[in-house]
Amino acid sequence: MTNLRDVFKNHKAFIPFVTAGDPSAAATVANVVALAEAGADIVELGVPFSDPIADGPVIQAAGLRAFAGGITVNGVFDIVAEIRKQTQVPLVFLTYANIPFKYGYDAFCAWCAALGVSGLVIPDLPAEEAPEILPFTAKHGLDLIPLVSPTSGPRLAKLVATATGFVYIVSALGVTGTRTSFAQNLADLIGQLRTVTDAPLCVGFGIHTPEQAQAMAQVADGVIVGSAIVEQAAAAGKDAPQVIGAYTREMVAAIRAAAK
């Protein structure tokens, strides 16, 4: 499908998240480029949505800042076009289902492909509804990245049946946000997933320290970090690229160490 699988061939991946348009288009471009230059393997770009059911307060606040700055779906595509002038780091969108539905699945996926967006993470898309968009992701060569949680249980095989790029494992119940504890059955969950899919397995939701990232990388193929990046960028203002770049280098080093 895309180049996402290649990312995981020789090492564990670090996947940071930023919200598109927070606090501006130019700032988003600068932040994504900084993440890429600091060693991020894939960058997850959040498409702001009015009712983000999986987002905690930090990422919700980022979405509100982006809306205040006038972000639109076309504006997100414009941001990606600017990013592509400076880096070819693999990108995936985190978007809620209503956005590509309202935009038009074919047009949305076509723009993703044209601009080098490799895949879509859609938290509110049930597996039963995935066949609605799958023909269009397949047509345009995009990966539809499923989410599974510690309570997915007997649905695991169904949830990952169409996984291509990677599987997004939610580390704990609830919404996004930094945490000090995670689901106790993560290792077992990852073991179960490896019996039903050969897609790389990445863990997200709540991870924010190098120690946590290293621990997750011991059992998973990649680590996803969102709220910690968004919070640091918001606090740093114009210095955000330097701050999140330094943080990314720490996280990458921790993850690489886990793979040795």
Is 37 tagged catalytic? no
Active-site entry in 22, 41, 55, 221:
55
> How buried is 121 (Cβ within 10 angstroms: 0-12 exposed, 13-18 middle, 19+ buried)?
buried
Partners of 169 in the β-ladder? 148, 203
User: How far is Cα 21 from Cα 47, in angstroms, rounded to an integer?
Assistant: 9
At 222 the three-state DSSP class reads strand
Cβ pair 186, 219 in contact under 8 A: yes
Is 188 tagged catalytic? no
Strand ranges of the sheet holding 117-121, from the earlier edge strand across to the other edge = 143-145, 117-121, 91-94, 43-46, 13-19, 222-225, 201-204, 167-170, 147-148
User: How far is Cα 108 from Cα 168, in angstroms, rounded to an integer?
Assistant: 21
Partners of 253 in the β-ladder? none
Active-site entry in 22, 44, 221, 231:
44
Catalytic residues, by residue number, are: 44, 55
